[in-house]
Amino acid sequence: MPKVLEANLLAEGKKFALVVSRFNDFITNRLKEGAVDGLLRFGARDEDIEIVKVPGAFEIPLLAKKMAATGRYSAVICLGAVIRGATPHFDYVSAEVSKGIAMVSLDSGIPVIFGIVTTDT
């Protein structure tokens, strides 16, 4: 039988940064509420959660990098919404946000959670 390594979902005693996009806030506010609720259910305290709002999804990786670099957080949770319109803007933003968040995670060595909704109109 192979050895299986599986993480426990325990937030007690940990600190979390949430980087949340203000654009499409009818979606991102709910993502934020759900993330905070989940963290609290698994033992985090309100004072262990810091929320930073950025204008749009494109700005998320930069702020995630800055938050991760402080060394204060056990994880950074990135939340945003990119909605496809009639122009190729969606493709550019989605691709760069995805790459940027992945780079922050790999470079920082801490979990950087990808919570970006990409959807059609």
What secondary structure letter does DSSP report for 55?
S
CA distance 37 to 63: 22
What are the catalytic residues?
89
CA distance 87 to 93: 11
Cβ(57)–Cβ(20) under 8 Å? no
Judging by DSSP bridges, how do beta strands 75-84 and 112-120 pair with one another?
parallel
